[in-house]
Amino acid sequence: MAKIELSNVTKQFADGTIAVRAASFTINDGEFFILVGPSGCGKSTLLHMIVGLEEVSSGEIRLDGKMINHLDPKDRNMAMVFQSYALYPHMSIRENIAFPLIMAKVPKKEMDKRVEEVAAILELSHLLDSKPRNLSGGQRQRVAMGRAIVRKPAAFLLDEPLSNLDARLRNQMRNELARLQKRLGTTTIYVTHDQTEAMTLGDRVAVLNNGIIQQIGTPYQLYQQPANLFVAGFVGSPAMNFFPGQIKGDHLFFFSLNLETNLPAHANFPNQLDDVIIGIRPEDFYVLANESEQIENQAIFDTQIDIVEWLGAELLIYFQIEINHWPDMPALAQNLNLDKKPGDMLEVTTRLDATYPIKEGDTIKLTFDINKLHFFDPRTGDQLASKLD
């Protein structure tokens, strides 16, 4: 087991590109910690610096209180699992799993015992004499995991290990990984671009963008209390909807929807702003069958449905509204397709129960609870207020 601490860790390449900027966080002993973000955000580079495959330009990395910046990967007692299985095709599964022990000159009796133990954990015992070509993708990934586990390292580092698998196998392996990590209790750092993997696997998750850590928290915290527009738009599927709005005293006005409501109690801004970005999760909308159903704190508007996607237990419905006002946005907004202007169309996504009898072209009354709104500063992208727990 291991406690890993990063203090102002930065990676700048020879051409001046800064891949990671001043990353500071602690991964607790036995924690399943996720690094997530879009392609090119710096998550793999950060992982490679921790394991020693990339040099640190500045800052410190500590393992159980000891600085390890200067140590070679082989001396850091960490096991890496890559996106590719990297199995030796001419070796049996037994030999592939045992390879790091062979290189470490572990006595054969001890080596055989550890390989058998790991094979049993991963349900590979019946395949130990097979070759990699005879295994499925999921089984090969388990062999790659076994080769890491057999070393009994202080920490596991996994770089998008499931991305080569199809959707069904990916879901299966995700569950197996979660159970395995809990069983072993080994500190684990897992890199992925898939926010579903991040939210289902991690004890805590670090969201990166452009080399900068945007927020670190539990999956619940990231979802309910996103630190900024990027996290709000990245975490959640489908993504959060964003609307331009304006605060008028104790009232909130939605541009384009031509809708005015009371300002919710949790929107207690330290400095009143003219413009705000209002976030609404797709699942926080629902259909109002008639006006008599309206209750306090609801806001109602009419819309015409463009597209209906039936997903079995739920529906995703899409509609568009024309933008008649949009505030100046930070560069961050470009990553979320929020660099809008008046006259553009804004697509809105709503998640509903599949029992609603809705079809494309219908005009419906949608409503949402104002106490479930999120608010962001359009100048900085930072969260102003999120819905209450």
pLDDT, residue 292, reads 59
Please indicate, yes or no, whether residues 65 and 124 belong to a single structural domain of this protein: yes
At 163 the pLDDT is 80
Angle at 377 between CA 296 and CA 206, to 5 degrees: 100
Q: Are residues 74 and 151 in the same domain?
A: yes
Is the pTM higher than 0.85? The answer reads yes
131 lies in the same domain as 176: yes
CATH number of the domain to which 293 belongs: 2.40.50.140
Q: Spell out the per-residue pLDDT of the chain, length 389, in tens.
A: 689 999 999 999 999 999 999 999 999 999 999 999 999 999 999 999 999 999 999 999 999 999 999 999 989 999 988 877 788 899 999 999 999 898 888 999 999 999 999 898 888 999 999 999 999 888 888 898 888 888 889 999 999 888 877 777 788 888 888 888 888 899 999 999 988 899 999 999 999 999 999 999 999 999 999 999 999 999 998 999 999 988 887 888 888 787 888 888 777 665 656 788 999 999 999 888 766 555 666 788 889 999 999 988 899 999 999 888 888 776 666 667 778 888 889 999 999 988 888 889 999 889 888 888 999 988 888 898 766 54
| Residues 203 and 319 reside in one and the same domain | no
Q: Which domain-ending residue is among 231, 249, 273?
A: 231
Q: Which one of 188, 213, 231 terminates a domain? A: 231
User: Do residues 227 and 346 both lie within one domain?
Assistant: no
350, HSE (Cβ side, Cα atoms, 13 Å): 23
> How many domains does the structure of the chain reveal?
2
**Structural domain containing residue 118:** 4-231
Residues 152 and 207 in one domain: yes
Exposed/middle/buried for residue 100 (C-beta within 10 Å: 0-12, 13-18, 19+): middle
pLDDT at 67 (0 to 100): 96
Asked if residue 252 and residue 220 are part of one domain, the reply reads no
Q: Are 166 and 137 in contact (CB under 8 A)?
A: yes
Query: What's at 290, amino acid-wise?
Result: N
Q: Are 263 and 211 in the same domain?
A: no
Tell me the two tokens of residue 241. Answer: 């909807």
| Integer CA distances (angstroms), 362 to 64, 191, 291, 356, in order | 60, 42, 17, 12
Query: Same structural domain for residues 147 and 67?
Result: yes
Q: Is 289 helix (H, G, I), strand (E, B) or coil?
A: coil
